[in-house]
Amino acid sequence: TATKVLNGTYVYPAGFDQSTKDLLQECARIRLQVPANSVDTRINTSQWQNRWKTTKGKTSSSISGLHFGHYKAGASSDMISVFHALKLTIALQRGLAFSRWKHGLSVMLEKMFGCTMVEKLRVILLMKADFNCSNKIIFGDRMMNNARKYGLMPEEIYSERGKMADDGSLAKILFYDIIRQARISAALSSIDAANCYDSVAHAMASIIFRALGVPQEAVTSMFIAIQNMMYHLR
């Protein structure tokens, strides 16, 4: 069904939700611009080493002993880096998810130093270091670069290079001024969901990812881990 949606050949049944249909048809239009499977899921040794050499070894990850420092240290060895990069590439190209990827660690952090009141804490989910790295390489870097390459990044994304937070604030003020003067019903949502893969609608996200050129196997690899994740609390 997803392939038919992307190819524009899916026949929508009577009574199909119009908003969902609009989103799916937009995915089909994106597919006309972005070649299928144009996001490379191979991770070679140099790419792996360059990624880990710039990370902080003390960065926390999930409950497994394979932490950030483990991979950062391994990046100094060509032999170990080949093993790590090849193992991740195989998983991405076969739609596999390692069992240890399916364990997430929820941690409560202080928003304000010294304040430990529960309602004032911020909860983050720590995932496996290599799983986190995989998501950033494939979806955070390569897929987003594909969107930029084909001119598909929305104008209202103010985290892009060349834009400032002031631009977003001004756009928000102008938006409210327009709807107030036009006397129309409208809503504005400011969302920072660049890496919130556990919070998105998976069915829709998987189609969007494929529309932007990510192979189905890589999408499956990520969502299998997230959908079967066991959560631990610290």
10-residue stretch averages of pLDDT, the chain, 234 residues long? 91 92 95 95 94 87 83 94 96 95 89 85 88 93 94 84 84 92 88 62 91 96 93 84
Picking from 234, 233, 216, the residue whose alpha carbon sits closest to that of residue 1 is 216
pLDDT at 109: 86
pLDDT at 61: 82
pLDDT at 169: 87
pLDDT at 79: 95
Residue type, 112: M
b/e 66-90 (16+ beta carbons within 10 angstroms → b): bbbbbbbebbeeeebbeebbeebbe
pLDDT at 21: 94
pLDDT at 163: 84
Instruction: Report the predicted TM-score, pTM, of the whole model to 2 decimal places.
Output: 0.84
Picking from 130, 162, 134, 164, the residue whose alpha carbon sits closest to that of residue 148 is 162
pLDDT at 214: 97
pLDDT at 184: 92
